[in-house]
Structure 1
Amino acid sequence: MTAYEDLMAMQRETEALSQVAGRLGWDQETMMPRDAAPQRGAEMAAMESVLHARRTDSRVADLLAEAEASSDVEAAQLRHIQRSFDRASKVPAKLASEIARVTSESQGKWAEAREADDFEAYAPVLKEVVALKREEGAALSAGSDVYDAMLDDYEPGATAAELGAMFDALRPRLVDLRAAVLDAPAPPALQGKFDENAQMKLSRQIAKTFGYDMAKGRVDKAVHPFSSGSGLDVRITTRTSETDPFNCIYSTIHEVGHACYEQNIDTAYLLTPLGNGVSMGVHESQSRIYENQIGRGRAFTGWLYGQMRDAFGDFGIEDEDAFYGCVNRVENGFIRTEADEVQYNLHVLLRFDLERALIAGDIEVDDLEAAWNERFEADFGYPVDKASNGVLQDVHWSVGLFGYFPTYSLGNVYAGCLNQAMRKAVPDVDLALARGETQYATGWLRDNVQTHGGLYKPREVIGKACEFEPSEAPLLTYLEDKFRGIYGL
């Protein structure tokens, strides 16, 4: 065997073990007994110790020095392995294991605190997480910007300054659009109660409609919806609310976007570095275009209206046009995952600024709830009523995902670009979506984004698919056209 073949054999075992660790995380969120959290923390720490040792093994360095790429695919595999080795080598094994243990336990404590609306009960473990992540960030940055080093875990090559400039360009037009929309007469709101078992049945049907392969996945319930796994085992979760079936439906479509990305990667890349989505920004572009540009579009909501009536009977919305307005209704709310397209990015920008300040030490955990509440009222114009609607609503900080939040808005930007390119390439796509046939839209995304996995760099895969350099302009044009139309502006 060549050095490259030896390296890839070793890497496939590492990737397989990483999938096992991910399955432990999925189980923790869906089925694990509540009191098992301390043991699960030890299990996760042990897995991370094994993975860290493999990623920093001197044999990896030796094989990387000897390996030669004979194709673009092999060059990309080596690029990913080298990057992983370099980053893992900067983080002490004991620190990596401790982060895995503490974040596993913190996740359960966050869920309990969220249910009790008690940030003070959660603050001590969050302090541990923040301290550990600051230490890790300092090791990774080696004297450069600590937050940029964290961001690089989720969006390789991006910087906070670059994303901040993009977000600064988004904010004024989003604020103006929100003000205009909220001053206009609103579409009808959904009212009544919707059987939660019927919601889950419909959500599974919709998952299949979007191409999610249930033979290689499953749909379960969790406090915070997520997608887990890659290749032949990609699982999603959703959640239900008796008074808000859209929460279940669109959480499911969102997570299906993530899951289909993983399921549709070229099977030749299975259990290799190329066998995963290339970045969280690109990942989020898939979940957001499935959820919004496709799932909340006039064509698809026309079909969905009929499915809702079949599932729940007459629910008080008179026709497809009224339903389209109802689905896209802009209204005040606290929860990011339930936010309309106009206001969603404003939720993300709040978190982006707060976590940068937290990692830099400009604010501390004890100040975080007050800082959140002050910023939220300044941005949205009304006060936070309870912690579960504020600083405790997201799981991300509890599991140490600092640098993750900005990829949500970057994913929206990428989705705006992809939507423009997809509609140019498939001009009759809405005719199919009106029949509940998503395969022409999702097929274009599969062929132009998803199948490549990690072959290209993040901006490169979006640029190749769109045939233009990504920017915020298509997203803003899409949002202004859509919501000015709905609200008659």
Structure 2
Amino acid sequence: MREEVNMKLGELKSYLKNIYYLNHAMSLLGWDTRVTMPRKGNDERGEVLGYLSLEGYKLRTSPQIKGFIDFFEKEKDLDDVTKVIIKKIKKSYDKMTKIPGEKNKEWVISTSKSEAAWEDAKDKGDFHIFKPHLQEMINISKEFAEYIKEDDKKSNYEVLLDEFEPGNTIESLDNVFTDLKEGILDILNKIKNSNINIDDSILKVSVKKADQEAFVTHVLEKLGYDFKGGRMDESVHPFTLTVGCGDVRITTRYIENAFTNAFFSCVHEGGHAIYEQDIPNTLKYTYLDTASSMGIHESQSRFYENIIARSESFWTYYFKEVQQRFPHLKDVSLDNFYNAINKVKPSLIRVDADELTYSLHVIIRYEIEKMLIDGDLNVEDLPKVWNEKYKEYLGIEPKDDREGVLQDMHWSGRIFGYFPSYALGNLYGAQFLNKMLKDMPDMYERIEEGEFSHIHKWLNDNIHAHGSIYEPSELIKVVTGEELNSKYFLKYLREKYSKVYNINL
């Protein structure tokens, strides 16, 4: 590129550094809000976040940003990465300039209050506490979509979906989720009809929180999570948050009589965090220093949680150490433990779901939030519809709102369109696995020897190092040579559960 262009690019990155610093501060305040802040601080914290959000809005919609966009759009001699940087900045600018700054501030304050109301409602198991706030989040989400949509033919939900999974459509999701749902239900019905009962009572014993934390910390370090660039805390709902370069945090929730819950939760969040820690510093101040999409992000968390940490090879290496740390397992065989952590049992709580039925939880939420945003589902009827879908897909019904419609925090934070990412993550992850095994046929043998660096390196080289240079539909083709499909995940499930349940799938 010309010298003038390089100089201008340096000026742009210096300007974007201000936005990065502001995001850093807001992320830190957001983490504190959800982890350590006293409840009475919520209203003022919401105002502070609202103020900072307005400042961020000003930076993203300033005449300076418009000047940068105009300059680079006239240039013919831009490298591919710079083209993507300008494309993303312009997309953000075009979107943000359609939203009045005061609206954005108002929305942030309302969202902060909504999240606090959800926590209160969940604690008391009373949906009515949260209902008016949920209605406001739906109204704001529709308003937001109407502001930013470029095509009037697009539904509001599809606009929201694009915020998390760029380029995806309701039509494409409906198609892939229909295949996925039918495949999972077929496997589930065959397992139910097998009359094989796996005993998982060995997992329901008391394990001190300190012992759980010590083991999972050891495992996370082994998998590649850098505690010098992060930390692990507790929260109502586990999450990963990137404060900034060298500060990627995770949280978990310990249950004393269900120690594997926190273990798999930590490994899941660790997968997210490893991705964020691996994104190269060269992409800072470019809008590209983040994941390709939330579906790709979930592919990494669920890859580590399930494809690695629920594999037989993983426990072939780790089970003796687990027996030493948790003496109640000393007389349990590896086969029985492996089968127990992979037992299929339809459950009500998404984060506790087995690997097979997990995607059904996601599809239920996808179908419901489409109706909340685009359809005629009233908030008043939400618990009833939620319960009916659980009965239809999983054969069980919640006994109260706490284990039903109140279990997830997403809608309280105005996060509509995110849920599909969880199921898409399963599909991306299995497709990546198929390619990884072609590149490293001895992958699982090396896991049995306690070697995980080869996995971390492959994921880093092929996925993490790109940040968001590629959109998800581009990345999956760059890495695997194919478009996203459900066949690899269903193949993975059939192979796994054929062995666990000793049946032909």
> Does TM, normalized by the shorter one, top 0.5?
yes
Contact 1:117 1:388 in 2 (8 A): yes
Shift of 1:250: 0.5
For the residue of structure 1 that corresponds to 2:262, the secondary structure is helix
Instruction: Give yes or no for the alignment of 1:126 onto 2:134.
Output: yes
User: Residues 331-410 of structure 1 correspond to what in structure 2 (within 5 A)?
Assistant: 331-410=345-424
The residue number in structure 1 matching 2:467 is 453
In the aligned structure 2, how far is the partner of 1:316 from the partner of 1:299?
A: 19
Q: Report what 2:82 is aligned to.
A: 74
Q: Is the CA contact (8 Å cut-off) linking 1:413 and 1:475 kept in structure 2?
A: yes
Q: How does 1:294-309 map to 2 (within 5 A)?
A: 294-309=308-323
Whether 1:463 aligns to 2:474 is no
> Which digits, 9 at most, give the CA deviation of each residue in 1:107-151, with x for residues without a partner?
121111111111011111111111111111111225231111101
Kept in 2: contact 1:99–1:133 (CA 8 A): no
**For 1:198 and 1:109, how far apart are their aligned partners in 2?**
33
List aligned pairs for 1:145-156, cutoff 5 A: 145-156=155-166
- 2:188 is the counterpart of 1:178: yes
Q: Is 1:88 aligned with 2:99?
A: no
Structure-1 residue corresponding to 2:115: 107
4+ long deviations beyond 4 Å: none
**C-alpha contact 2:238 2:253 (8 A) present in aligned 1:** yes
Once residues 187 and 357 of structure 1 are traced to their aligned partners in structure 2, the CA distance between those partners, rounded to angstroms, is: 37
Answering whether residue 69 of structure 2 is matched by residue 64 of structure 1, we say: yes
Q: 1:198 aligns with which of 211, 228, 234?
A: 211
2:199 paired residue among 165, 188, 198: 188
Distance, in Å, in 2 between the alignment partners of 1:393 and 1:99 is: 23
TM-fit CA distance, 1:422:
0.8
Q: CA deviation at 1:379?
A: 1.4
Matching residue within 234, 237, 241 for 1:228: 241
> What's the offset of the Cα at 1:223?
0.9
| CA shift for structure 1 position 161 | 1.5
1:252-291 alignment, distance < 5 Å: 252-291=266-305
Q: Residue 346 of structure 2 contacts residue 395 of structure 2 at CA under 8 Å; is this kept in 1?
A: no
Query: Quick one: which amino acid aligns to residue 79 of structure 1?
Result: K
* One-letter code aligned to 2:425: G
CA distance in 2, matches of 1:405, 1:317: 40
- The superposition leaves residues 281-309 of structure 1 with CA deviations (integer Å, 9 ceiling, x where unpaired) of 11011111111111111100222322322
In structure 2, how many angstroms separate the alpha carbons of the residues matched to 1:167 and 1:95? Answer: 35
Distance 2:119 2:323 in 1: 34
Partner residue in 1 for 2:324: 310
> What RMSD in Å do the two structures reach over aligned CA positions?
1.4
Give the aligned residue type for 2:16.
Q
Would the aligned equivalents of 2:34 and 2:235 in 1 still touch at CA under 8 Å?
Answer: yes
> What displacement does 1:317 show?
6.0
- Letter in structure 2 aligned against 1:352: Y
3-state secondary structure, aligned to 1:235: strand
Structure 1's 271 and 237: CA in aligned 2 closer, same or farther, altered over 3 A?
farther
SS at structure 2 position matched to 1:220: strand
Determine if contact 1:95/1:136 at 8 Å carries over to the other structure: no
Residue aligning to 1:168: 178
How far is 1:374 from its partner?
1.4
* Distance apart, 1:278 and its partner CA: 1.6
Cα distance, 1:96 vs structure 2: 1.3
Show the counterpart of 2:228.
Answer: 215
1:47 corresponds to: 52
Report the CA distance between 1:16 and its aligned residue: 2.1
Q: Name the amino acid aligned to 1:426.
A: M
Partner residue of 1:16 out of 2, 13, 21: 21
Distance in 2 of aligned mates of 1:100 and 1:358: 20
How far residue 310 of structure 1 moved from its aligned partner, in angstroms, is 2.3
Identical columns (%)? 33
| Cα distance in 1, alignment partners of residues 378 and 239 from structure 2 | 28
Q: Which runs of 5+ in 1 are unaligned?
A: none
Q: Secondary structure at the match of 1:73?
A: helix
Alignment CA distance shift 1:76-1:267 (3 Å)? same
Q: Which amino acid aligns with 2:258?
A: D
Are the counterparts in 1 of residues 313 and 444 from structure 2 also a CA contact under 8 Å? Answer: yes
**1:486 CA drift (Å):** 0.7
Tell me if the contact between 2:279 and 2:466 (Cα under 8 Å) persists in the aligned partners: yes
Number of positions where the alignment pairs a residue of Structure 1 with one of Structure 2: 489
Contact 1:281 1:414 in 2 (8 A): yes
One-letter identity of the residue aligned with 2:39: R
Q: TM-score, normalised to structure 2's length?
A: 0.94
CA distance in 1, matches of 2:345, 2:321: 25
Give the counterpart letter for 1:94 in structure 2: E
Deviation at 1:216, TM superposition (A): 0.5
Is 55-64 or 446-455 further displaced after alignment? 55-64
SS at match of 2:319: helix
Once the two structures are TM-superposed, the CA of residue 435 in structure 1 deviates from its matched residue by: 2.6
**Is the 2:204–2:259 contact (alpha carbons within 8 Å) kept by the matching residues of 1?**
no
Measured after TM superposition, the shift of residue 361 of structure 1 is: 4.3
Maintained 8 Å contact 2:348/2:397: no
Q: For residue 14 of structure 1, report the CA deviation from its aligned partner.
A: 0.7
* Deviation digits for residues 141-193 of structure 1 (CA, Å, limit 9, x no counterpart): 25231111101110111111111111011111100111112333132202321
Give me the whole-angstrom Cα distance separating, in 2, the residues matched to 1:200 and 1:371.
38
The alignment partner of 1:25 has SS state of helix
Q: Match for 1:424: what amino acid?
A: K
Which amino acid counterpart does residue 197 of structure 2 have in structure 1?
A
The alignment's TM-score, normalised by the length of structure 1, stands at: 0.97
Q: Distance in 1 between matches of 2:396 and 2:475?
A: 40
SS state of the match for residue 192, structure 1? Answer: coil
Q: Write out per-residue CA displacement over residues 38-67 of structure 1, whole angstroms, 9 at most, x where no aligned residue.
A: 111111111111111111112211211102
Aligned counterpart, 1:412 = 426
CA distance in 2, matches of 1:278, 1:155: 8
1:6 to 1, 6, 11: 11
**Separation (CA, whole Å) in 2 of partners of 1:330 and 1:418:** 24
1:105 shift after superposition? 1.6
* Distance (Å, rounded) in 2 between the aligned partners of 1:16 and 1:82: 20
Counterpart of 2:33 in structure 1 is 28
Query: Which ranges of structure 2 fall in alignment gaps of 5 or more residues?
Result: none
Alpha-carbon contact 1:292-1:341 (below 8 Å) kept? yes
Task: Mark the CA change 1:317 to 1:337 in structure 2 (over 3 Å): closer, same or farther.
Answer: farther
Please identify, of 346-355 and 80-89, the stretch whose mean Cα deviation from structure 2 is larger: 80-89
